[in-house]
Amino acid sequence: MSKKNIILIASTLCFFLITGIASAEIKTGQTAPNFNLQDQNGNWHTLDDYKGKWVVLYFYPKDGTPGCTTEACSFRDNIFEFEKLNAQILGVSLDNVESHQAFSEKYSLPFPLLADLNKECATEYGVLGKFMMMTIAKRQSFVINPEGKIVKHYKKVDPDTHTEQVIGDLKKLTS
């Protein structure tokens, strides 16, 4: 094998490892993968617990980082709008229960933050990625309808405007 081919293969492999492209692609219209994860208070949550409600399942990289804090606080500040739309917010990262508890208490977050310690949920939803040398959940969100189907997948999320985008889409979906 030539040196050029080795470099091309190594570069491609690095790209997949850094971006997380090698994980499964989730499609709108498919049944949302179930999960069983603990929240910041030690309570267990499954997707089945929310049948009959809209679910906004948002994945984020790390508790307490600037973008993650902006996104979480925006969901918090609009919680009554989500409640009017019969929508439950669920945040998911690879952080542990204790980290979620501190983050939730510091910013008075009124929704569950789920600890995906074994990375199964992030893997099932295709959002597991790498940042530098850390494995993280990429910042992506899913809207799941009351029947458990994925109806919207946000692959590129701007923490400053994401909440308004989700509320707008939920209003269209529920009308």
Contacts of 93 (CB under 8 A, 6+ apart): 59, 60, 61, 62, 63, 68, 100, 113, 114, 115, 116, 136, 137
Q: Are 122 and 131 in contact (CB under 8 A)?
A: no
Tell me if residue 68 is catalytic: yes
User: How far apart, in whole angstroms, are the C-alpha atoms of residue 105 and residue 127?
Assistant: 26
Q: How far apart are CA 41 and CA 64, in angstroms?
A: 17
Question: Which is catalytic among the residues 14, 68, 73, 121?
Answer: 68
Catalytic residue IDs: 68
